[in-house]
Amino acid sequence: MDFSASRATANSSNLSQYKIIHFATHGLANSAHPELSGVILSLVDEKGNPLNGFLRLTDIFNLKLSAELVVLSACQTGLGQNIQGEGMVGLTRGFMYAGAQRVVVSLWSVDDEGTATLMSSFYQGMLQKGLTPAAALRAAQLELWKQEKWHSPYYWAAFTLQGEWR
């Protein structure tokens, strides 16, 4: 949260103790050069001093995670480059290589308010109703679809679960 959402925090060994890791931030996907993809974290410290807040794919590959779920609540986090013999290289692969069992990512630019509504419903499904991440995401998407304000797939269909679906 806030200034603690920094590159230093993400690279620290403390991140390995969490079962769910949620990044609500900006994502950058570079399909031509996936190694330049990443997420933007805090760019300043508590005193306003500039920080390197860009967590690149190469940084993500070097994380040591034991998370059951990583959520990338940001734009285009599920994109990457399909490399022959390697498959899709992008943020999803980086987090799974780092130890995450599942990763929730987006396939296009997303609306801030719609995404916040979707994520709130998603976590209520998992944490209060005991649904699996896949079932909670589906239920949250259906919930938004039923609301006139969020009915368009633009608001809810960008997010997909990659990895262990159970």
Q: Is the pLDDT of residue 147 over 80?
A: yes
b/e map of 113-139 (b: 16 or more CB within 10 Å)? Answer: ebbebbbebbbebbeeeebbbbbbbeb
**Are 29 and 76 contacting, i.e. CB atoms less than 8 angstroms apart?**
yes
Q: Is the pLDDT of residue 114 over 80?
A: yes
pLDDT of res. 50: 94
Classified as helix, coil or strand, 79 is: coil
| Count of alpha carbons within 13 angstroms of residue 161, beta-carbon side | 20
Classified as helix, coil or strand, 98 is: coil
Q: Go through the domains of the chain in sequence order and give each one's CATH number.
A: 2-163 (3.40.50.1460)
Helix orientation angle between 133-145 and 112-123, rounded to the nearest 10 degrees: 130
- In angstroms, the Cα distances linking 18 to 45, 101, 149 are 23, 12, 34
CA distance 139 to 145: 10
Q: Is the pLDDT of residue 61 over 80?
A: yes
Q: Is the pLDDT of residue 139 over 90?
A: yes
> Is residue 53 very low, low, confident or very high in pLDDT (cuts 50, 70, 90)?
very high
> Is residue 146 very low, low, confident or very high in pLDDT (cuts 50, 70, 90)?
very high
> Is residue 136 very low, low, confident or very high in pLDDT (cuts 50, 70, 90)?
very high
